[in-house]
Structure 1
Amino acid sequence: MRSVRRRLPIPWRRKASLSASRARTAARSGAVGGTAKGGQRVKRSSTGAKVFNGVVIGASLLLAAILLLHRFIPNRWFNLGSLIETFLPWFGLAVPVLLVLAAIRRRPLAIVCALLPALVWLQMYAGLFPDKHEGPGDFRIVAHNVNAENFDTAATAATLTAAEPDIIVLVELTEDQRLSWAEALNERYPYSVAYGTVALWSAYPVAASNEVDLNLGWARAFRAEVDIDGEPVAVYVAHLLSVRVNTEGFTSEQRNETAELLGEAIADEPLDRVVLAGDLNGTVQDRSLAPITYQLESAHASAGKGFGFTWPADAPLARIDQVLYRGLEATGSDVLDATASDHRPVLADFTL
């Protein structure tokens, strides 16, 4: 009887054994569960990295395409192409952002893609940064949109004449302003021409002049034949219509029409030496100004330094005030200090 009782299981030992077994099972189950959760975290992290890299690569390729193929962006919707071309240099600000994001992930493909728009941007604009001034030429032109609300004629004139130009071109002049400017400039610049809201004062004789009809009902452009040391130069003065950015997009249809008419007049110009100065309300990269810019070169691109932004005067974002030319050599170009106008004056030197 005693030996039989020894073989019988003791109830509390069975319970303890069962509890230990369950604890081990639970521990193993917990370990497996922890691994699964950790694996999910790794998987989520890997997916996030792929999405991040994809965004950086996609944005880099899109930026490179915009810079390289901006001419093919259609104007059909909101004149989007012209709007992008007006502020195209500023797209370069996205390049360092993309490079930093690509470097954070340290993925070679993302870094290479981020370098692509950087190379395109440099190819487009690196040539603007070296100083290309060659010194004074045979004559100097200063052009300025004085702003119809700028009545500080004396200070504005002092800024312009301090540059010692031979020809001063002014646009957006009111009748009252024109009289004030005549008082300020006539003694030093005895030859002058004025049509509507645009005018020119010259130290050289003006042999002839005529309005360039932009089909507006009032004068905003003219041609003057200036005799510079016995050599005739056709000087065009123009203020093309303004553009607007609103709910309809980049509204520039009327400006584009005036650009076409001005381009036709320049194409018919009989003189070889031509200068166009004034406010074109557009950059030389804006395709809508092609009727003008395909015939003329930018003095600032040829002989200036930097982008030469002119508008708005307090914090310039675009160069819409231009001095363009053909049949001459540009030897210098600059942007003068701000005046009471919302535009900055521009300067250009030329040799015959």
Structure 2
Amino acid sequence: MSRHKAAPDQSPLLLVLGFVLIAGLLFGLFKLVGPGGDDTADVNAVLNRSTPSDDARSPQLRVQEGETLEPSPAATCEDVDVDTDITVLSYNIKSARISGGIGTFLGIIRSSGADIVLLQEVDKNRSTSGHVDQAGWLAANLGGWSDAFGTNVDYGGGLYGTAIISRFPIVSYENTHLPNGPGGQQRGLLHAVVDVDGVELSLYDTHLQNKIDYLKVRQAQAIAPIIAADDRPKVLAGDFNSQVQDTPLRTIIGGTGMHDTWGAVGVGSGLTHPSSHPRGRIDLQLYGGDGLTAITSSVLATTASDHRPVRAEYTLSGASSKVCGDLFG
């Protein structure tokens, strides 16, 4: 006897109700696993109502499924060896008080191929030089370079001192006033740290007293320990108003272990002052610290100022921390 056949004593109404119930169950099953669908996925969707949402799934699962990645919570890095050639120019521009003004020095800097320039006798917004921020103007017109200004004197409606402009980003800078005395003009030591392809390089720019010998010696004595305490590769440049054999420079070189760049790799006479008929080498670059190697040094033959600029090329080597990819890179 069929299990769907009504017993002899059942009414036709009960038979109809049983048929309707069976038909409803079959229809529901058909909708659940309908033809052409993914039976397993649909059944799981019904049976596993507690499955986490997309946002709660692990990033690795999302990568496997080809979904959009969330920003990674961390980055992986490694040290990369860097060797970068840089050209440094040191120049006393005498407040650009010549025909053509500061624009003349822009041309000299461009033609030198310098990446970094250390300037002395620089004006900032002084009336006698046309209210121009000379270092800022040069940096802007060299293509948006960084600049740092060290104020040593406040007069003429503006400021006077030293400056550093750099194609590489300037990370930090500070100006330290040097010892002064009766008859002297305030001088300073401008220190800037630049980021050269991930390696920090220290630059020191100064202009020592021009006529009072004891002040030059005291200023040199103040400079030496500051530079000696800096363990970065470094360049000290400027107008020292002294020659390399004189006490101020012997004090600095002896107290820091730095080297005279032109003395090591120079070409030409090296003479810088006066620019029309140079007789003295009083504008110098010194270098020191691990990873900085001098390649060549020379003096540019220009009379735009009363000093000639000193140009030097170096190779800077070091370990640079580089981002090499995110968590899934």
Per-residue CA deviations over 1:42-85 (Å, capped at 9, x if unaligned) read xxxxxxxxxxxxxxxxxxxxxxxxxxxxxxxxxxxxxxxxxxxx
Structure 1 residue 162 corresponds to structure 2 residue 111: yes
Within the alignment, does 1:351 sit opposite 2:315 as a pair?
A: yes
Q: Distance in 2 between matches of 1:149 and 1:164?
A: 20
Aligned residue pairs: how many? 209
Cα distance in 2, alignment partners of residues 180 and 254 from structure 1: 28
CA offsets 1:94-146 (integer angstroms, 9 cap, x no match): xxxxxxxxxxxxxxxxxxxxxxxxxxxxxxxxxxxxxxxxxx96111111000
Q: Deviations over 1:226-273 (max 9, x none)?
A: 111111111101111112xxxxxxx411111111111121112132x0
SS at match of 2:112: coil
| 2:171 aligned counterpart, secondary structure | strand
- Paired position in structure 2 for 1:92: none
User: 1:12-62 CA deviation, whole Å, 9 max, x = no partner?
Assistant: xxxxxxxxxxxxxxxxxxxxxxxxxxxxxxxxxxxxxxxxxxxxxxxxxxx
C-alpha contact 2:187 2:208 (8 A) present in aligned 1:
no
Distance (Å, rounded) in 1 between the aligned partners of 2:164 and 2:306: 20
Equivalent position of 2:244 in the other structure? 284
Relative distance call for 1:324 and 1:206 in structure 2 (3 A) is same
3-state DSSP of counterpart to 1:301: helix
Alpha-carbon distance in 1 for matches of 2:237, 2:210? 16
Where does residue 73 of structure 1 map in the other structure?
none
- The answer as to 2:189 corresponding to 1:228 is no
On the 8 A contact 1:213/1:261 being kept in 2, the answer is no
Q: Give per-residue Cα distances to partners, 1:207-230, cap 9 Å, x unaligned.
A: 111112313484522111111111
Which residue of structure 2 lines up, in the alignment, with residue 293 of structure 1?
A: 253
* Greater CA drift, 216-225 or 282-291: 216-225
CA contact (8 A) 1:137 1:331 kept: no
More helix by share: 1
* CA distance in 2 between partners of 1:308 and 1:156 (Å): 20
Letter in 2 for 1:173: V
Contact 1:211-1:219 at 8 Å conserved across structures? no
1:296 & 1:277 partners in 2: Cα distance? Answer: 11
Alignment partners' CA distance in 2, 1:226 and 1:279 = 21
For residues 129-168 of structure 1, the aligned pairs below 5 Å read 138-148=85-95, 150-151=97-98, 152-168=101-117
Which residue number in structure 2 is paired with residue 118 of structure 1? Answer: none
| 1:334 aligned counterpart, secondary structure | strand
Aligned counterparts, 1:80-99, within 5 A: none
Distance 1:280 1:181 in 2: 20
Q: How does 1:255-274 map to 2 (within 5 A)?
A: 255-271=216-232, 273-274=233-234
User: Structure 1 residues 161, 349: CA separation in 2 closer, same or farther (over 3 Å shift)?
Assistant: same
Q: Give the CA deviation at 1:339.
A: 3.4
| Paired residue secondary structure (2:250) | helix
Work out the percentage of aligned pairs sharing the same amino acid: 29
Decide which structure has greater strand share.
Answer: 2
State the partner residue of 2:133. Answer: 179
Out of 259, 262, 267, the position equivalent to 1:305 is 267
Question: TM-score, normalization: structure 2?
Answer: 0.60
* Aligned-partner residue type, residue 117 of structure 2: I
Distance in 2 between residues matched to 1:213 and 1:267, nearest whole Å: 17
Distance 2:288 2:144 in 1: 24
> Alpha-carbon deviation of 1:189?
4.6
Query: In terms of Rg, which structure is larger?
Result: 2
Q: Kindly tell me: are residues 180 and 149 of structure 1, through their superposed partners in 2, closer, same or farther at Cα, counting changes over 3 Å? A: closer
Segments of structure 1 that go 5 or more residues without pairing to the other structure are: 1-135, 244-250
* CA shift digits 1:190-221 (9 cap, x unpaired): 21100111001101011111112313484522
Residues 265, 295 of structure 2: 8 Å contact kept: yes
1:284-317 CA-partner distances (Å, limit 9, x unpaired): 1113322212221111111111330000000000
Pairwise CA RMSD of aligned residues? 2.0
CA shift in 2, pair 1:198/1:281, >3 Å: same
Distance 2:134 2:190 in 1: 21
The corresponding residue for 1:314 is 276
Separation (CA, whole Å) in 1 of partners of 2:260 and 2:144:
26
